[in-house]
Structure 1
Amino acid sequence: YATEQVVDKPNGTACMPLEAIAKSLEYCVEAVVMNQEDVKEAMGTTH
């Protein structure tokens, strides 16, 4: 949720500023464009 959307939600509901959500989406699109091929390893084995 955006910070403005949690006013009527229970305490502890996850939220962040819209600017952070927008920047995260920019990074997602950049990752898709820069990495044309999927990782061929099972999740968790690259960290």
Structure 2
Amino acid sequence: MAEAPREPGWYRLTETGWVPVDATVAEAEIGAGGGWDLMHVKTAAMAETPLF
């Protein structure tokens, strides 16, 4: 099995491994009701950033 990506961003799992997907493309797919095969990676630093 392909190792999960470590860099932040959107990814799609293919037969050859994880492929980066442009954020605009990923958001458009999700907005249209698709994107079930996408994964959004956040780093620990991003997760600790306060929202307010």
TM-score (norm 1): 0.33
Write 1 or 2 for the structure with the bigger share of helix: 1
Write 1 or 2 for the structure with the bigger share of strand: 2
- Choose between structure 1 and 2 for higher RCO, CA contacts under 8 A separated by at least 6 residues: 2
Larger Rg: 1
TM-score (norm 2): 0.30
